[in-house]
Structure 1
């Protein structure tokens, strides 16, 4: 039931005003046709109005959730974070419809690049057109989600990348080889290859190769965390073992951090998918592969600063997985680990230009600006 629950709850939770608006237009059409006359019609209209009120409540609840994003940053990073956040100029959310067009503003055709030898090794370079080519702007690599089987870079993370681009960042939104056509570890190899490309080429676009962060949601959150915790690992850098694939910070969002636990809600089914479509090896015979691919087993004291976000109502990846990963990181890493748990948020809560999407974008920008400020 997790899939239908997600697809029913996601648009109504994150695009409530759009859903309500479409319903109102349809109700007006039906009213002009006379569908609401008589007792049954009035009952139908009352039920429809109740649905509108519910959607309005959902929207307002999301619009009041900013402290769930900013509070953990303030509590963990303290006064340094507050000083960085205070310097921003406030921007309103773009909205669901406007967000879908933001790429056109920041990605001309010349900024669609190829970072590797495979057909899927393409990326969009997001930057403001007035950004100086010698400015050494901070850089974010954005890794898309999609259950390691979709990996579409468009239109994922548009609110966040638009926010960062406006602040003078350069964002590289990548695609990668996906399953079942491709087999693990092709996915993480491509992420590493994209990082290597960024380090070698981003200066041509005005970026700083010495300040590269990484982010991604869902499967992209898994790949983000794994890449950040395994810099320069030769097993996932075939043919480019000498390339620097380290990052200064990581922001995994509603990610999957455990590929080996078989107990719990949805866990047997998830392991079955990995064995059949992604890894294509039996867990019982190749347990080391699944352990190596699990970010929770790769935590270490020198992990970069992390900002982990997860929704409490995530029906695809239960919030407990985010909590366990953060606990492992916090007890091991010597760098800051910030965890934002978003009440009532479904999987992919940052996808649209909703309040959750806007608050994710500004909170991530605050965290990354803090990392930049504290690195000097």
Structure 2
């Protein structure tokens, strides 16, 4: 049956098959070095990799329609069918890789916390730690919603540089007691993004299971310059310490997480507790966190191992974020690098990164984990997810479900440890300048 187009059905079938196969191939081997292709290649790889089952379904529907319309009435159609078959094989491999996240993350937890770690998690907070996204949510990935959660939006937590900084609070509907708390920091290369763009699957999942999640904005470059971003993250911690109880949060137990630039800021906040350089006007507020979970973060502003070659990261940092040259002021770039700030008293970390990340090379996460493990006395867990792109957990996909379930188990374990450990007196905690921190704002305990 001829199609109502200028080109015959077999040729159209071949063109469609080639386009679909290019998406699949790019998801398997995304562009990493030739920067003009990296941006477009990332989006194509990201959408295909996390929605591989959807792509498989629509390619199958399209193939059926082409065959019905006479797509096999010439040799181009048979070539197209061969290409489509190869594309399907690639998509199936992507789906299989996504399911591997369950075993990879569980292995990371067992290695870092011990094989019996689940026995420590109380039923109250651990009853749903293995829950996956519903079938409806996976079939229709956006928007991410959960009726068990209520959201308090656009709370102003600080004013800096003429900007009102706002946050959202995700909490269990009908909650009546303080809940363990997570601060989420969004990504966007320090220049774009907001609390409304990322972290929804994590926020809804944790809030539905009894946590309070705070998602906060921060000032963006190029209008603002580092460390303004970090100061704002610390301001969000201050708000949780001072006002979290009003929204159901337990300010004595606070975990920080974030993705990409947010992963960098989360790691940096965790490694600079009570440093007055990043707490102007609120130097005496305790900004320690009890754990940190950075997703696909940037951990080094100095490129000490030459990992960035072929990327735009150095250009972004020099022109927009730091507004100075690395070669002219390496000390400033070191101070902004979590790799340079590893410490013995760092809180527990769970670093998550994808092995197909085309924006932040996975080697960066590996090196950060190596350096942090060499220094920290706390557990440092690392899960390298097969097939995962940058920003993979924006979608409630198969991979995201397994990864976030593992993160929740890690957090539940830390919460259980916090509940059974004696309070750490705040007067014993050193500030970033070496002086001792005084108790403040009713914070009862911290990791120690």
Corresponding residue number in structure 2 for 1:330: 373
Corresponding residue number in structure 2 for 1:291: 334
Distance change >3 Å, CA 170–CA 109, structure 1 → 2: closer
CA distance in 1, matches of 2:119, 2:158: 40
CA distance in 1, matches of 2:317, 2:152: 37
Corresponding residue number in structure 2 for 1:74: 110
Which aligned pairs between 1:83-232 and structure 2 lie closer than 5 A?
Answer: 83-84=119-120, 87-89=126-128, 90-94=130-134, 95-96=137-138, 98-103=140-145, 105=147, 110-118=152-160, 119=163, 121-132=165-176, 135-232=177-274
Corresponding residue number in structure 2 for 1:37: 73
Please point out which of 91, 95, 100 is paired with 1:59. Answer: 95
Q: Please tell me whether the aligned partners of residues 120 and 176 of structure 1 are also in contact (alpha carbons under 8 angstroms).
A: no
Corresponding residue number in structure 2 for 1:6: 42
CA distance in 1, matches of 2:170, 2:281: 28
Q: Please tell me whether the aligned partners of residues 149 and 207 of structure 2 are also in contact (alpha carbons under 8 angstroms).
A: no
**1:267-295 Cα deviation digits (max 9, x unpaired):** 48422321111111122332221111001
Corresponding residue number in structure 2 for 1:309: 352
Corresponding residue number in structure 2 for 1:17: 53
Corresponding residue number in structure 2 for 1:237: 279
Give the deviation of 1:46 after TM superposition: 3.5
Please point out which of 243, 247, 258 is paired with 2:289. Answer: 247
Give the deviation of 1:120 after TM superposition: 5.8
Bigger mean CA deviation after superposition, 135-144 or 343-352 = 343-352
Tell whether 2:312 aligns with 1:273.
no
The TM-score, its normalising length taken from structure 1, stands at 0.92
Q: Please tell me whether the aligned partners of residues 97 and 353 of structure 1 are also in contact (alpha carbons under 8 angstroms).
A: no
SS across alignment from 1:176: coil
CA distance in 2, matches of 1:171, 1:142: 7
Corresponding residue number in structure 2 for 1:357: 400
CA distance in 2, matches of 1:109, 1:344: 32
CA distance in 1, matches of 2:376, 2:95: 37
Relative CO higher for 1 or 2, CA cutoff 8 Å, sep ≥ 6?
1
CA distance in 2, matches of 1:185, 1:320: 25
CA distance in 2, matches of 1:162, 1:80: 27
CA distance in 2, matches of 1:295, 1:323: 13
Give the deviation of 1:330 after TM superposition: 1.0
- How many residue pairs get aligned? The number is 374
Tell whether 2:343 aligns with 1:300.
yes
Q: Please tell me whether the aligned partners of residues 268 and 337 of structure 2 are also in contact (alpha carbons under 8 angstroms).
A: yes
SS across alignment from 2:357: coil
**1:117-151 Cα deviation digits (max 9, x unpaired):** 1546111111121211xx11000000111111113
CA distance in 2, matches of 1:103, 1:56: 28
Q: Please tell me whether the aligned partners of residues 80 and 370 of structure 1 are also in contact (alpha carbons under 8 angstroms).
A: no
Give the deviation of 1:171 after TM superposition: 0.5
Q: Which has the larger radius of gyration?
A: 2
CA-atom RMSD, angstroms? 2.3
**1:85-115 Cα deviation digits (max 9, x unpaired):** 6953442334456443334746656443111
Give the deviation of 1:256 after TM superposition: 0.8
In structure 1, runs of 5+ residues without a counterpart are none
Bigger mean CA deviation after superposition, 193-202 or 88-97 = 88-97
Q: Please tell me whether the aligned partners of residues 255 and 291 of structure 2 are also in contact (alpha carbons under 8 angstroms).
A: yes
